[in-house]
Amino acid sequence: MTKGAAGAAGAGKKTVLITGASRGLGRALAVEMARRGHAVVGCARSHDALHSLHADLHPSPSSPSPSPSPHLLTTADVRSDGSVRELAKLVAESRRVPDIIVNNAGAINKNNKIWLVPAEEFDMVVDTNIKGTTNILRHFLPLMIEKKQGIVVNISSGWGRSAAAEVAPYCATKWAIEGLTRSVAKELPPGVAIIALSPGVVNTDMLASCFGSSAALYQTPEAWAPKAATMILNLTTEDNGASLTV
């Protein structure tokens, strides 16, 4: 990974937008970014899960008059263009245009041969992983371009660069993320970059749906997050279009 170019890795505190922030990798990354002093804009579909995340991002204040929170947590469904449009409006109005976006929200199909995957389940994976990522790009890239700087991290997968049986819908969407990232990288003006990032193998609910109890053999999101945060914070515009792995 290159360093020294203009980009989101410069000195100072960053505003980091994380989709799917209520659980798994998104939640762990949000907590780690906040721990390092960066402002987190987190979205997810579950209000209750976001309320729990809020408690993790805001340790009990030592003084009776704590300063206003630097973080913004709100419900949003990345599958809905309208929902993402409202999210972008809220972010812009609150002057929290992100320096870094992590397109983390994702879904996987239950292990099954492709001809046995119900159409509704296939649509859910595509709508979340491809359309959800694209909805964020549609409404947030213009804000970054206007700001003349920003880094977008599209969470990919090892299965976006290889293949496995019974997860064809998921593999297809992550291969799509790799191609989408490389294509969009060619469209961006100076100062803005986009990267595909495979998290590696991490013990999340999604991994457990594929690996069953064997998922417990792999690192936890909490062990993964410090490495991922360091890598993401050190991305620069010279990394534009790259396919990287934590």
Catalytic sites, residue numbers: 170
Q: CA 218 to CA 124: how far, in whole Å?
A: 26
Token pair recorded at residue 203: 């013990």
